[in-house]
Structure 1
Amino acid sequence: MTDLIPELRTPVAPDGTGPVQSGMAVSRVDGRAKVTGAAQYAAEVAAPDLAYGVVVTSTVARGRIKAIDATAALGVPGVIDVLTHENRPKMRAHDLAYKDMTAPGGSPFRPLFSSRVFWSGQPVALVVAETFEAARHAARLVGVTYDVEEHDTDMLAGLHKAYAPRPMTPGFAPPKSKGDATQAWNSAPVKIEAEYYNAVEHHNPMEMFASTVVVGADGHLTIYDKTQSSQNSRWYVSHVFGLGKDKVTVRNPYVGGAFGAGLRPQYQLPLAVMAALQLKRSVRVVLTRQQMFSFGHRPETWHRVRLAADAVGKLQAVWHEAVQETSRLEDYVQVVVNWSGHLYACDNIHLDYRLVEQDRATPIDMRAPGAAHGVHAMEVAMDELAYALRMDPLELRLTNYAEHDHLDDKPYSSKELRQCYRLGADRFGWHDRPIEPRSMRAGDELVGWGMATGVWDSLVMIARASAVLHADGRLVVSSAASDIGTGTYTVMAMIAAERLGLPLERVTFQLGDSTLPLAPVEGGSSHVTTVGGAVAGACDKLKNTLFKLARCRDDGLFKECKPKDVEFSGGRLHLLGQPERGVALADVLAQAGRDRVEEKFFMTPQLLKQRKFARAVHSAVFVEVRVNERLGMVRVTRAVSAVAAGRIINAKTAASQVSGAVVWGISQALHEETFTDHRLGRFMNHDFAEYHVAVNADIPDVQVIFADEEDRIVSRQLGAKGVGEIGIVGVAAAVANAVFHATGKRLRTTPITPDKLLLGDRDLPATTRPAP
């Protein structure tokens, strides 16, 4: 059972008819459409004359296609065509055309562009038929022969080949160092050193990646795509196929989970478009679960962490280096080690981050990219240091609490982590925890308590929003945002309703269409601060326009008023504190002879102001586990997550985001790992039968607490920060630390599986590069 409404900020507006305030626990406005089936996803949109495409994938990890025999496939009744690199429609050749808005450095993969094979499971052909069944049957009959080349998918064996990403690689913040970590390490009385490892994890959202391309009579393409940005997908399609943006519209009104997998256009999108262009008819391509396992994944990562402290636990040195996989095509980068320089007060910090090229698809972002792994290593190391000092792990973190960012030497825009520690510890009962491992039991099981800190960036980007008040008093607000299950529809409607004093039922937020005003890719926990800021700005401008119209009314009620003398509430404009002396907003428009009033707002970050501050969300995670040592089984039985994320707009959906992320953190800690047969260069457990994820029986009561915090540096309009990522950060470390407290066995790799508890952790081959 999960507590989705925290104790803090719990006023509830169950029916949407009352006044709306930030912090209310409001149910999703799109909830009914989803549970009744009215919501249509990318693979469900009806289209006339629809053909179906099924992808044929490579069976080798590296080489060239020697020949493709489609004779048998073309003989299947209902098969229309088999597209390959030899007969596809014209596509642009240069790399720049394939770089979407979130592409890393390097050369993006170009589906069906050439005979080159870069990874096992790469698309090599598309069978198009009148029915899905015919296309799927025919796809099995396509024969492909290869000139096979030697491949490499073993990152741990290649640590000595790791290289530093180029400093200007998009999305990469080169790690900094500070002071003299080597000297501080050598002279410190208490120190620990260890290697950590995180296995490959794969995205598994409920909705498969799918694209339905509807061809209009005029040749216009309307594409329904599973994506985290309709405008990013439109950008990609327009550039790859040389189509004007007025020839392509992309829609994604409903997305069945994405978590980073949909930041970049996936290969079904260009395949569906090329088939539609070739056949001049509508085409749908849906990937299988197995095909989704061939690409998007959180990259395999190796770490070495050294921590040194004085006798009372003050950190003297922090040393964190990491090596991560990437493809041979692109330098996929994440912020992995940088967090270790920001978490605690320390004057001597050494950070290093490198990549190893592999014959795999380029990894892609997965919830809290970089932090989910980097903070795990650092926070398990902090637990090890606490035991070396014989200190309580929470006390060690409070001893090294950073009042300002020591790595960048900046104050925080806001930081209520200390409040998170207090709230989480009190709720969990941490102060009753004995320090010695193996000191608590429940029947045949050992009981352990662990905790960890979480951190994530507070991001703000640029966006536009439009707000239109209609003559009947309805407010329609629009932006090309996405709702990947986070509650965007609801939160944006709440912001608009609160700003204009309207009941929630009178507000509609439009999203998921590339023709709407500019919005960024939905990622990085930035949509509320960015799109929400644009919505608030548009509504504020609308209020000013309505006030000016009201001042011109014949009754003269507002003629001598200034904006500070009036307020908007209940769908009315009235004198401050005098709700009976006012007028309905619909009447303001009627008297002015207007059937609608529209305002737009362009949201930009306060860059000059923000650059002076470190900006982050923080959390404290507390976990209880029970361990059956004879079977090596671990159960998480309690979890508390206390989060400082600025001003919370919707307590219900925000808590849902955090609790869902905690579930994923538990899954990362105990279940999720994709295994590779390095002889084949192929992921082997590519289905739900063998790739384990946490299920209901694995999840305990998850309690979510929000600290009181407001941040007008990050979000001048709302005082908010994002919550999408922070909930997963630190969870795996807290579980690992709880396992040690229960058993006295230190496990430094994820996932923690029964074989590791019974036989010990895996051996990690250290890199040959010098250490301090």
Structure 2
Amino acid sequence: MLGLDKGDHVTLTMDEAHPVSLLDTGVQGVIGKPLSRVDGPDKVSGAATYAAEYALDDLAYGVLVGAAIGKGRVVSIDAAAAKAMPGVIDVVTDFDTFIRVSQQGGETEAPTQGVRDIEYFGEIIAIVVAETFEAARDAAERLPVEYERGDGVFAFSMDDARDGDLPTNIVPARTEQGDIDQAMRDAAVSVDVTYTTPSQNSAAMEPHASIATWEGDSLTLYGAYQMPTSDAQQLAESLGIAADKVRIIAHFIGGGFGSKLGIAPESVAAAVAAKRLGRPVKAVMMRQQVFDATVRRSNTSQRMRLAARADGTLIGIGHETTASNLSTEDFFEPAGISTHFLYAGDNRLVSHDLVRLNWLLSGSMRAPGEAVGLLGLECAVDELAMALDIDPIELRRINEPARDPEKDVDFSSRALMPALDTGAKRFGWEQRPVRPGTRREGEWLIGMGVAAAARANMLMETSAKVAIHPDGSVTVSSAMTDIGTGSYTILTQVAAEMLGVPMDRITMELGDTNDVPAAGSGGSWGACSSGSAIYLACEALRGKLARAMDVAEAALTLKDGRAIGDNRSTPIGDLVGDGIEAIGTIKPGEQEELFTQASYGAHFAEVAVNRVTGETRVRRMLGVFAAGRILNEKTARSQCLGGMTFGIGAALTEDLIHDTRTGKLVNRDLAEYHVPVNADVPQLEVVFLPERDIHANPIHAKGIGELGICGAGAAIANAIYNATAIRVRGFPITLDKLIAALPAV
């Protein structure tokens, strides 16, 4: 349904397929090309300004103070003692000023701020403000706080699982079809196993940071936030002011991976302190505070049940996940999100329960659900293949559904088997040892593993404004963000292709809530949503240019800054008078209900496991992906490489450890929380399959940012089994879980 609003505002609701895309008819020749990032020079030269780098006059420095107990109450804070220290301006607690609201997994609400009751170790209870960072840090570390300890729940136990009515998160908490118990009884071969995954931290390079400054009753916050439009609403709610009184500026963000979807405590603390002091306040979370007081991916326990006939046909799939969160939160890790549609099977159960813990709140981390859910599902499928003595790829082929097995609707596009087949050929799958533990190279055991990748595709309401100026240059503006994913570049490419303007003539203005609203970067919806909004605005401008040139729009060609039609060629700047502009808005519609939309792929891994030490080395990995139109082959590849590296971490190293006496994080920095480093990551290969999805959006692209992590860790785990014949069901697979069962010779 396409409509014109106010003449210059085009809105498209995806109620119908969009089979024709102008990106296929553009002649500028930049879409899909592996172009380098337009913001790269600014980043490597230091010209790109991140949240903590804005130089405001009369800036004060704030350092947050976290609770030193895991459960209880703050009895008193001796602010006077801190304020007596040199350079200290104030200690702000404001316990009774602001309503306590929750972060809801870092997505929709504002975070805990200014509280007396302590729910987890490290929860922010105050901010110390001083003339220098060093003075604020010194005072914050020595701030006298008196506590009353309470009884908390600090250890994860399945006995405490809640079988309750959890509200819908990304997916319903529970869906059931047929009888999984009966299917298990009827199965010729079945698998009933439990996989566990630990808490994880996003570990973005840039810590959470905010600079707050007030002008009257209006707040401007320079923040490291992925979704400025909704973040401004959260911040306004937290402060008890109108949303139009809050402006967030987030031009550059040094990674987020979900941890910056919603506002974190430093933003509210900086805003409160700045209002109280009447001067700007900067608050940058120290790395340990990022771990302590932002958001974690929940730990999970996943019971996997697969029931199959002797020929490998699945008759039942059960995926029951128990995760954890604070007692005030209903966010759950949706580990079964891909299980709903990945494989056929008449009897199905996908459920999610919560254990309430006094641990840091859990929320969205890159590929929430699939990242850990496919560790369970894809390893269980591998186990079933071994039990059936069927090649793991063939087992997936046998259970490839023609339609969504739960919704009974068509897939908008689905390239899982092409990805598996392409990958098998490129990787040399035929060389995989059929019998696990039989290939050796000296003291190394060698194995191969495979896993499917799937990530639900999402479209979010987003707007963008595009203006053509008299000199023929173009400005695109939106509250969309670039968190290191390449938004500046790919959105410039969309505008360049649509308007036939060289990329260096386009200015991309992102990350400011004073511009038209956008869903921001998250859920892999950024490129498709914002790209579609720009597409629509440019489509309207193409119509204006055609009318100004007095040619039919279908006869208009735009290339290299010129409008060509009816044997005439005119600089587009000559057609716009004082300038023209249009706003495009994309909205999700019936297409997401009529079709199951997802991106697909396949991961292949080869590992070597030392039979003496138990250490695992990933020797090579291949990812084959289909995600609709690839807007930029280089930035897309980089996203997949990053996701595959995430998979290495999930499989082998990442484990956020909680002290079961207090809930305190034990390994709360990048020295002790082990993300993969260069020595852990081999040469990774990424292949894209050509695809268009006419049901997804007018640019025919689908999300890819999180697809690379989905299934990557499972391919490594399956390779470890193939190498050693040892099945480890608790992640990460560290050497201590292997060494006792390794062959002695």
- Please indicate the TM-score interval, normalised by the length of the shorter structure: over 0.9
Which of 72, 86, 101 is residue 81 of structure 2 equivalent to?
72
- Cα deviation code 1:571-614 (max 9, x no counterpart): 111127x6xx321111223xxxx121111122112x22331111
- Asked if 1:261 is matched to 2:259, the reply is yes
Distance 2:527 2:423 in 1: 25
User: Which position in structure 2 is the counterpart of 1:250?
Assistant: 248
| Matched residue count | 715
Counterpart of 2:563, as a letter, is L
User: Which position in structure 2 is the counterpart of 1:563?
Assistant: 553
Distance 1:337 1:19 in 2: 42
User: Which position in structure 1 is the counterpart of 2:581?
Assistant: 598
- Asked if 1:728 is matched to 2:675, the reply is no
User: Which position in structure 2 is the counterpart of 1:659?
Assistant: 641
User: Which position in structure 1 is the counterpart of 2:6?
Assistant: none
Which of 89, 104, 107 is residue 102 of structure 1 equivalent to?
107
- Cα deviation code 1:141-193 (max 9, x no counterpart): 211111101111211x2x12212453544544233222222222101111121
Confirm or deny: 8 A CA contact 1:109 1:329 kept in the other structure. Answer: no
Distance 2:569 2:357 in 1: 68
Confirm or deny: 8 A CA contact 2:108 2:234 kept in the other structure. Answer: no
- Asked if 1:741 is matched to 2:728, the reply is no
What SS does structure 1 have at the residue aligned with 2:738? helix
Structure 1 residue runs of 4 or more that deviate by more than 6 Å after TM superposition: 98-101
Confirm or deny: 8 A CA contact 1:73 1:142 kept in the other structure. Answer: yes
User: Which position in structure 1 is the counterpart of 2:575?
Assistant: 588
Confirm or deny: 8 A CA contact 1:172 1:333 kept in the other structure. Answer: no
What SS does structure 2 have at the residue aligned with 1:611? helix
Distance 1:608 1:505 in 2: 37
Confirm or deny: 8 A CA contact 1:165 1:333 kept in the other structure. Answer: no
Deviation at 1:25, TM superposition (A): 0.5
- Cα deviation code 1:729-759 (max 9, x no counterpart): 1011111100000000000111110111114
Confirm or deny: 8 A CA contact 1:64 1:116 kept in the other structure. Answer: yes
Against the structure 1 CA distance between its residues 175 and 367, is the aligned structure 2 distance closer, same or farther, given a 3 Å change threshold? Answer: same
User: Which position in structure 2 is the counterpart of 1:137?
Assistant: 138
**TM (normalized to structure 1)?**
0.90
User: Which position in structure 2 is the counterpart of 1:367?
Assistant: 366
Distance 2:210 2:537 in 1: 32
User: Which position in structure 1 is the counterpart of 2:23?
Assistant: none
User: Which position in structure 1 is the counterpart of 2:268?
Assistant: 270
Distance 2:56 2:508 in 1: 25
- Once the two structures are superposed, the pairs formed by residues 581-660 of structure 1 within 5 Å of their partners are 581-589=568-576, 594-605=577-588, 607-660=589-642
Against the structure 1 CA distance between its residues 457 and 672, is the aligned structure 2 distance closer, same or farther, given a 3 Å change threshold? Answer: same
- Cα deviation code 1:192-244 (max 9, x no counterpart): 2111100111121110100011334x454321001002222221222222333
Counterpart of 1:664, as a letter, is F
User: Which position in structure 1 is the counterpart of 2:7?
Assistant: none
- Once the two structures are superposed, the pairs formed by residues 411-422 of structure 1 within 5 Å of their partners are 411-422=410-421
RMSD across aligned positions (CA) = 1.8
- Once the two structures are superposed, the pairs formed by residues 319-334 of structure 1 within 5 Å of their partners are 319-334=318-333
Distance 2:599 2:584 in 1: 26
User: Which position in structure 2 is the counterpart of 1:689?
Assistant: 671
Counterpart of 2:652, as a letter, is L
Confirm or deny: 8 A CA contact 2:607 2:716 kept in the other structure. Answer: yes
Deviation at 1:680, TM superposition (A): 2.1
Question: Which sections of structure 2, spanning at least 5 residues, go unmatched?
Answer: 1-26
Please say which of residues 433-442 and 28-37 is displaced more in the overlay: 433-442
What SS does structure 1 have at the residue aligned with 2:174? coil
Deviation at 1:330, TM superposition (A): 0.9
User: Which position in structure 2 is the counterpart of 1:517?
Assistant: 516
- Cα deviation code 1:5-56 (max 9, x no counterpart): xxxxxxxxxxxxx933321111100000000000111111101000001111
What SS does structure 1 have at the residue aligned with 2:42? helix
- Cα deviation code 1:601-650 (max 9, x no counterpart): 22112x22331111111110000000102111000010000011001010
Confirm or deny: 8 A CA contact 1:747 1:760 kept in the other structure. Answer: no
What SS does structure 2 have at the residue aligned with 1:66? strand
Counterpart of 2:409, as a letter, is K
Confirm or deny: 8 A CA contact 1:55 1:139 kept in the other structure. Answer: yes
Counterpart of 1:570, as a letter, is D
What SS does structure 1 have at the residue aligned with 2:596? coil
User: Which position in structure 2 is the counterpart of 1:36?
Assistant: 45
Please say which of residues 69-78 and 163-172 is displaced more in the overlay: 163-172
User: Which position in structure 2 is the counterpart of 1:713?
Assistant: 695
Please say which of residues 617-626 and 185-194 is displaced more in the overlay: 185-194
Confirm or deny: 8 A CA contact 1:100 1:235 kept in the other structure. Answer: no
- Cα deviation code 1:98-156 (max 9, x no counterpart): 7799337xxx64311x310010001112110000000001112211111101111211x
Counterpart of 1:571, as a letter, is G
Distance 2:594 2:289 in 1: 45
What SS does structure 2 have at the residue aligned with 1:185? helix
Confirm or deny: 8 A CA contact 1:100 1:232 kept in the other structure. Answer: no
Distance 1:677 1:729 in 2: 29
Confirm or deny: 8 A CA contact 1:22 1:498 kept in the other structure. Answer: yes
User: Which position in structure 2 is the counterpart of 1:48?
Assistant: 57
User: Which position in structure 1 is the counterpart of 2:20?
Assistant: none
Counterpart of 1:743, as a letter, is T
Which of 565, 575, 578 is residue 575 of structure 1 equivalent to?
565
What SS does structure 1 have at the residue aligned with 2:379? helix
What SS does structure 1 have at the residue aligned with 2:335? coil
User: Which position in structure 2 is the counterpart of 1:15?
Assistant: none
User: Which position in structure 2 is the counterpart of 1:14?
Assistant: none
Report % sequence identity: 37
Question: Which sections of structure 1, spanning at least 5 residues, go unmatched?
Answer: 1-17, 552-557, 762-772
What SS does structure 1 have at the residue aligned with 2:537? helix
Distance 1:195 1:101 in 2: 28
Confirm or deny: 8 A CA contact 1:83 1:275 kept in the other structure. Answer: yes
Confirm or deny: 8 A CA contact 1:440 1:448 kept in the other structure. Answer: yes
What SS does structure 2 have at the residue aligned with 1:683? coil
Distance 2:465 2:674 in 1: 44
User: Which position in structure 2 is the counterpart of 1:285?
Assistant: 283
Distance 1:624 1:469 in 2: 51
Confirm or deny: 8 A CA contact 2:107 2:364 kept in the other structure. Answer: no
Against the structure 1 CA distance between its residues 646 and 661, is the aligned structure 2 distance closer, same or farther, given a 3 Å change threshold? Answer: same
Distance 1:365 1:134 in 2: 34
